[in-house]
Amino acid sequence: MALKMAMYLGRKVGDLIGTEPFSGWYVLRTIETDPKPEIRYEFEGHGVEVICDEFDRIRTLFFHRGDAESLVDIPFDLTRKEVLERLGRTAKSGQPVRLPGIGDRGAWDRFPLLNGALHIQYRTDRDDIEMITFMRSDAVP
């Protein structure tokens, strides 16, 4: 399956945010220095977040439910079983958990990509997708 957003991993953030629909959306840019330097871009109200390294190269792309759903090749209404049937073997998976101070988190699956990993986070209240994340190899936990 072609994952068009994965092609932006490692590229300059301008390559992404200069394209539609990003170029028409308000973006909040912040710089973090601790524990390591990174630049964050949040498209408020659209469900897209981008984390870059100190050179403004894309490290991680987050796509939440909402406007972001149309930007990825994986429909958010797929069940976990359907995701596994489409994408095949996982590199790693996890079951739902309750994290102190954070709350409940649904099950998740991680799939290898040539230039990193694809992480699918499922909802806690239903068996479909909550968030899709593309990560460069050096950003995979």
Question: Could you give the angle at the alpha carbon of 81 between the alpha carbons of 79 and 82, nearest 5°?
Answer: 65
Given phi > 0 = left and psi -120 to 50 = alpha, else beta, which region is 33? alpha
pTM above 0.75, yes or no: yes
Q: How buried is residue 117: exposed, middle or buried, by Cβ count under 10 Å (0-12/13-18/19+)?
A: buried
Domains of the chain, earliest start first: 4-139 (3.40.33.10)
Helix, strand or coil for residue 2?
Answer: coil
Reported as a single tens digit per residue, the pLDDT across 70-129 is 899 999 999 999 999 999 999 999 998 888 888 788 899 999 998 899 999 999 988 899
- Tokens 């990193």 belong to residue: 116
